[in-house]
Amino acid sequence: MKIVSVELYHVCVKLKKPFVTSLSVKEYTNSIFVKIKTSSDLVGLGECCPTASINGETHETCFVVGRMIAKRFIGQNPLDIDANVGLMDQVIYGNTSIKSAFDIALYDLAAKAKGCPLYEYLGGAINKRIFTDYTVSLGPVAEMVQDAVKVKDDGFKIIKIKVGGEGKEDVKRVGAIRKAVGADIELRIDANQGWGVEEALATLIAMKDFDIAYCEEPIKRYKFDMLPSIREKSPIKIMADESVLDHYDAHRLINTGACDYINIKLGKSAGIYKALKIIKAAQKIGMKLQLGGFVESNLLFTANCHLAHTADCCSFYDFDSPLFAKENPIIGGMKYGEHGEITLNDAPGLGLEIDERYLKHANKLIIT
């Protein structure tokens, strides 16, 4: 089997409401879909959502770098994932977002060739239940409280709160939400690097009575060397996100005691291949992991769900992004159920297709 062509599509879908973090405001999804076609007629599908403030990529750069990678992929054996990941890193440094879309498509192909679901191809099994959180965007206190109450009323048991504004205001935000939703809802917070070092510690200490499961990335990613001291003094557990892209970053933060947990995003790790290396590193020390993403569709999060079923240490799930969009461009894949439970089908590979209606008028690039 050889790769005969690669197709890239840029698809935007309007969000139900703006998604606001301390880093950006998003009103649309911004997906790059990748199709890898083979001589055996099998097709692998992948997706990324380039986020300039985190991985330094845009849909324009994804097309430029995607062309470079695709040209080298033509004629290659798609089942040799190790070689193909190495090839992408030879082509260009970084660019983890577009690389992740190619990586996911390769794994989709490999599982399809074996005739099994991706989780089975990866050596996993469905032996646990997965429940996603639902995110409340950063905004005025009253608006965030209203959004949080709606999340609870919709049946979700876990709420993720975007913070990272001025620390004292964030304390008001989280305190008001805890009071409004009660004690039975799990709360997580995500600062997206929004606080200064001293501000982060003061804010976390001020939130100690709000029963917060953990805080994601409290300070700037390049100040990761300050995380150990924050973690030591914080009453709230620390999860590394933007400061961990691949397994090399994971090893550095693990070895320095910088965090309690790590958030894996395939758009940061350059896909499943390196995400598996992060999982292996976490398993060695008994560290729990979160699987999350940017504002992608069901395609990316279906890949996440398959990956979640490969390791017990994958314990936290931030799989709500597809619910933000007004439309779903994916047919099949993971399904949302009561209380945010997520299930998979047993079809080969990812078990999904891209709705061709969304590709028909998309900006596209075809390499043969």
In contact, 105 and 36? CB cutoff 8 Å: yes
Tell me how far apart the alpha carbons of residues 294 and 296 are, in angstroms, rounded to a whole number.
6
279 contacts: CB under 8 Å, gap ≥ 6: 264, 289, 307, 310, 311, 313, 314
Work out the percent of the chain whose per-residue pLDDT is above 90: 97
35, 99, 160, 265: which one is catalytic? 265
**Can 360 be counted among the known catalytic residues?**
no
For the residues of 68-124, what is the DSSP string, one character each?
Answer: HHHHHHTTS-TT-HHHHHHHHHHH-S--HHHHHHHHHHHHHHHHHHHTSBHHHHTT-
What is the C-alpha to C-alpha distance for residues 203 and 234, in angstroms, rounded to an integer? 9
CATH number for the domain formed by residue range(s) 121-352: 3.20.20.120
220 noted as active-site residue: no
Residue 24 confidence (pLDDT): 82
What is residue 177's predicted lDDT score, i.e. its pLDDT? 98
Q: Are the C-beta atoms of 167 and 199 separated by less than 8 Å?
A: yes
Q: Which of 160, 162, 268, 274 is catalytic?
A: 162
pLDDT at 109 over 90: yes
Minimal CA–CA distance to 133: which of 327, 328, 352, 315? 315
Of 3.30.390.10, 3.10.50.40, 3.20.20.140, 2.40.50.100, the CATH number of 3-115+353-367 is 3.30.390.10
Rounded to whole angstroms, how far apart are CA atoms 49 and 187?
Answer: 26
pTM: 0.97
**Closest C-alpha to 281, from 253, 308, 241, 301:** 253
Whole-angstrom Cα Rg for the chain: 20
Decide if 147 is catalytic: no
- pLDDT band per the 50, 70, 90 thresholds, residue 196: very high
pLDDT tens, residue by residue, 114-136: 999 999 999 999 999 999 999 99
The string of pLDDT tens digits covering residues 132-188 is 999 999 999 999 999 999 999 999 999 999 999 999 999 999 999 999 999 999 999
Average pLDDT score over the chain: 97
- For residue 279, name the pLDDT band (cuts at 50, 70, 90): very high
Q: Which helix (H) or strand (E) holds 162?
A: strand 158-162
C-alpha to C-alpha distance for 188 and 236, rounded to whole angstroms = 10
- Each residue of 343-368: pLDDT tens digit? 999 999 999 999 999 999 999 999 99
In the annotation, is 172 catalytic? no
Q: Is 23 a residue whose pLDDT tops 90?
A: no
Residue 20 pLDDT? 87
Phi and psi torsions of 108, nearest 5°: -60, -45
pLDDT digits (tens, 9 = 90+) for 283-332: 999 999 999 999 999 999 999 999 999 999 999 999 999 999 999 999 99
The pLDDT of 47-70, averaged and rounded, is: 96
Euclidean distance between CA atoms 241 and 28, whole angstroms: 22
In angstroms, what CA-CA distances link 331 with 117, 141, 302, 357? 16, 37, 11, 11
User: Which residue is catalytic, options 47, 57, 108, 241?
Assistant: 241
Domain ranges of the chain: 3-115+353-367, 121-352
Q: Which of 57, 216, 242, 249 is labelled catalytic?
A: 216
Told to judge if 265 belongs to the known catalytic residues of this protein, a careful annotator would answer yes
Round to whole Å and give the CA distance between 345 and 333.
7
Residue 22 has pLDDT above 90, yes or no: no
